Amino acid sequence: MRGRAAALALLAAALACGNDPYPDADASARILYVPFQEPPKTLDPQVAYSVYDHEILSNVYETLLEYHYLKRPYQLIPGLAVEVPTPRALGDGRVAYRFELRRGVQFAPDACFAQDGGGAAGRELLASDVAFSLMRIADPKVASPVIETFARIVGLRAFGERLTHLRESEPGFADLRIDQQYARAGPVEGIRTPEAHVLEVVLGAPYPQILYWFAMPFTAAVPWEAVAWYDGRAGRDAFGEVAVGSGPFRLARYDKRSRIALERNPSWYGIQHPEWKAPAATYPSEGAPGDAERGLLADAGRPLPFLDRIELRLEKEPIPAFTKFVQGYYDRSRIPKESFEKSVHEGGLSPAMAALGMRLERSVQPAVYYLGFNMIDPVVGRPAGERGRKLRQAMSLAIDSSEFLRIFLNGRGIPAQSPLPPGIFGHDDQYRNPYRQPDFERARRLLAEAGYPGGVDPQSGAPLQLSFDTGDTTVQGRLRFQFFIDAWRRLGLDVELAATTYNQFQSKVRNGAYQIFFWGWVADYPDPENFLFLLAAEMSQTRSGGPNTANFADPDYDARFQEIKDRENDARRLEGIRALLAILERERPWIELFHPEDYALVHGWLHGVKPSGLAVPVWKYQEVDPALREAQRSAWNQPVRWPAYALAGAVLAFALPGVVSWWRERQ
């Protein structure tokens, strides 16, 4: 009975509180509340490669360059650097970049700075810290996924090899402090710090896209003290579990399984020195067309950041997350499929949601999803010659991307005509790929020309059998793949779904034993090279383990790709890209499906939200109105108490007659 009394007391206490998941004291604070569906895998900037990792990292660490928050196509602005450098040719084919860093930028205070006997106060960020980060990329122990890209820096790969050699051959070397190890294995020929605030990077060959990489967390300045201190030993965290940066926010709490919190970093240069009016520390006063009308320039010229804290809560299931958003406990939300009809009406906000003062933010992501053919397959690939090409063309004509988007993604995406999404140089809004407009008549003709009239393979007399290979065995996956298979069945082709475990699928891919697959690519940086390289022969999956899963190898394509890949965005590059797209249009290694579109709902009290598909430090640009939020929350969340009383009454009414009659009998 005491248990029940305790339960009732707890119930009463909790009932009095209502459904507010946050402490009452936080109601008036400038806190941004956002859900996260998956925790970061690691916070090591040189290793982290997922959207979730970068969402946190880009706000805590800083890079030499950043992206302009509002302008599209994406444009680089100086971050830690004073300006965006221009490449300087060194004559022997090498290219040098000279970054001048801001003076007086500080790392946030952290226990790791005390290991030399000094205090835990931060220290100044210098060019050598960026150099240290670049060297970490080459350190095999760090296992950075982007070493291939940075190996273009002269001598960087050799540095990594020297490091491994010293660690293996020299006793005690591996136990030296990390900065001492790097100093012994260094210097790297292509990374120089002629002055404390100047970093020079030399590439072996022109690669203009390298500047984009200096806006990604991989190149974020990392203090060696943090790497040395946080080694995962003696009760200390591993470096991937902490963040010691110089950014506008610092990590206040990192509980990956429920809550991550960032708080304003008072030692950030933007807060210390608003008079610098640094581009990455001031709200921009220019934006893309339409930004002014959407109120995105209201804060123009104000020093950043606006928020005091960012609270992220783990929400694995989309529906509870969305419910809490509608209750006002999250400031922005994705729209789950189940709530789409309710939230979006004809591409705009539904009246019900508009009445709550929300906004809808739409943006096409720099990504492409596609069906690929394994081009080394004897039936669908290049060995089949003209027959294979016509088969691929016919299969491409049968797939209706708009219908796929409508059925499976609530229309959230635009049908792809080529691998290049909007906002990427070389994308043409007017271009219509002749093989990507659904046309069954033409498809059947092509199929007949390929030697498969009505989809029938003359050798066997039965419909041509193909296999659609996937590592996705979920029900949703099967439904999606069935959509493609049904379309091909209308041509008379017999495509079988070979859904295996992800591991088995991967081993099929490594062995080249697959025919058709579904895949996607999200850009690392906004450059056409980052899409078109997916079809370069040197990136072939089966031959070299690269991302060219279609194993497409076309000498003409490769030659033209070499021409455009390192060029500036000029007329010749555009011409080259057109030629590449023409090859893809004809050869059809891919059936380009769609570029996904992000729909986000934002409450009326959150300002300065511009979606971006790249690792952009968005939170420093965002602003909340806590008074409006608190008023709305309490208006929307009054608990309904009468059912509790009704239930208690009903239980009493049910049991009372029995107890009374037992009592009477006893008397």
Among 272, 327, 437, 473, binds another protein (CB under 8 A): 327
The angle subtended at Cα 634 by Cα 631 and Cα 637, nearest 5°, is 145
List the interface residues with another protein, window 119-178 (CB under 8 A): 140-141, 143-145, 147-148
- Considering beta carbons, is residue 241 or 630 the nearer one to another protein? 241
Candidate ranges 186-194, 265-273, 615-623, 651-659; the one touching another protein (CB under 8 A): 651-659
Per-residue binder mask for another protein (CB under 8 A), 203-242, x = binder? -----------------------------x-----x-xx-
Q: CB under 8 Å to 546, separation ≥6 — which residues?
A: 538, 539, 540
Of 42 and 482, the one with the shorter C-beta distance to another protein is 42
Q: What is the DSSP string of 106-127?
A: BPPP-GGGGTTSS-S---B--H
Q: Which is nearer to another protein, 374 or 417 (CB)?
A: 374
Shortest separation between residue 264's beta carbon and another protein, angstroms? 20
Report how far residue 451's alpha carbon sits from residue 617's, in angstroms, rounded to the nearest whole number: 54
Residues between 13 and 52 with contacts to another protein, criterion CB under 8 A: 13-15, 17-25, 39-42, 49-50
From CA 143, how far away is CA 149, in angstroms rounded?
Answer: 13
Structure tokens at 39: 């925790």
Q: In the complex, what is the shortest distance from the CB of residue 2 to another protein, in angstroms, rounded to a whole number?
A: 8
CB 344 within 8 A of CB 410: yes
Task: Using the minimum distance from each CB to another protein, give the nearer residue, 20 or 308.
Answer: 20
User: How far is 198 from 211, CA to CA, in rounded Å?
Assistant: 16
Residue 29 or 314: the one with the smaller Cβ distance to another protein is: 314
Q: How far is the CB of 299 from another protein (least distance, A)?
A: 31
Residues facing 96 on adjacent strands: 88, 202
Q: Taking the complex as a whole, how short is the minimal distance between the CB of residue 648 and another protein, in angstroms? A: 14
**Which residue matches tokens 């429920």?**
258
Residues 6+ apart with CB under 8 A from 318: 37, 334, 336, 337, 338
Minimum distance from residue 469 beta carbon to another protein (Å):
15
Could you say whether residue 506 binds another protein (CB under 8 A)?
A: yes
Dihedral over alpha carbons 523, 527, 532, 534 (to 10 degrees) = -30
- Sole window of 10-18, 437-445, 593-601, 602-610 interacting with another protein (rule: CB under 8 A): 10-18
Shortest distance in whole angstroms from residue 560 CB to another protein: 24
- How far is 221 from 198, CA to CA, in rounded Å? 13
Dist. CA 578–CA 569, nearest whole Å: 13
655 binds another protein (CB under 8 A): yes
Residue 226 CB contacts under 8 Å (≥ 6 apart), including other chains: 110, 112, 239, 242, 244
Among 430, 503, 511, 667, binds another protein (CB under 8 A): 503
Closer by beta carbon to another protein, 242 or else 380: 242
Is 652 a residue that touches another protein (CB under 8 A)? no
- Using CB under 8 A as the binding rule, the residues of this chain from 275 to 304 that contact another protein are none
Q: Which of 118, 194, 295, 639 binds another protein (CB under 8 A)?
A: 639
Q: Contacts with another protein in 418-447 (CB under 8 A)?
A: none
Residues 236-255 as x/- pattern, contact with another protein by CB under 8 A: --x-xx-------------x
For another protein, the closer of residues 276 and 519 by Cβ is 519
Applying CB under 8 A, which part among 324-332, 430-438, 532-540, 613-621 lies near another protein?
324-332
Strand, coil or helix: what is 207? coil
- Strand-pairing partners, residue 153, are 203
User: 253: which 2 tokens?
Assistant: 């709490």
Name which of 148 and 403 has its Cβ closer to another protein: 148
Q: Sheet of 309-314: strands edge to edge?
A: 31-36, 309-314, 259-264, 249-255
Q: Which of 88, 165, 184, 259 binds another protein (CB under 8 A)?
A: 259
Write down the least CB distance from residue 92 to another protein, Å. Answer: 28
Of 295, 320, 383, 434, which lies in the binding site for another protein, with binding defined by CB under 8 A? 320
Element holding 541 (H helix, E strand): helix 541-544
Residues, the chain: 667
- Tell the smallest beta-carbon distance from residue 238 to another protein (Å): 6
Among residues 83 and 161, whose Cβ is nearest to another protein?
A: 161
Member of 197, 250, 313, 620 binding another protein (CB under 8 A): 313
Q: Which of 1, 475, 635, 653 binds another protein (CB under 8 A)?
A: 1
Alpha-carbon distance 622 to 263, whole Å? 14
- Torsion angle of the four alpha carbons 448, 452, 455, 459, in this order, in degrees rounded to the nearest 10: 160
Provide the terminal-to-terminal Cα distance of the chain, rounded to the nearest Å.
25
Nearer to another protein, 142 or 399 (CB): 142
Could you give the dihedral angle defined by the CA atoms of residues 207, 90, 75 and 598, in that order, rounded to the nearest 10 degrees? 20
Positions in 463-502 near another protein (CB under 8 A): 502
Dmax of the chain from CA atoms? 112
- x/- string (CB under 8 A) for another protein, residues 533-562? ------------x-x---------------
Scanning residues 582 to 621, which ones bind another protein (CB under 8 A)?
none
Applying CB under 8 A, the span of 128-136, 203-211, 617-625, 638-646 interacting with another protein comes to 638-646
Q: Which of 551, 496, 493 is nearest to 519 (CA)?
A: 551
- Indicate the pairing of strand 95-100 with strand 198-203: antiparallel
Query: Omega before 187 cis (within 30°)?
Result: yes
Q: How far apart are CA 551 and CA 510, in angstroms?
A: 11
CB of 635 to another protein, least distance (A): 12
| DSSP conformational letter for 101 | B
- Report the residue number, 7 or 479, with the smaller CB distance to another protein: 7
Q: How many residues of this chain interact with another protein, rule: CB under 8 A? A: 71
Round to whole Å and give the CA distance between 293 and 289.
9
Site residues for another protein, window 347-406 (CB under 8 A)? none
With respect to another protein, which residue has the nearer C-beta, 197 or 324?
324
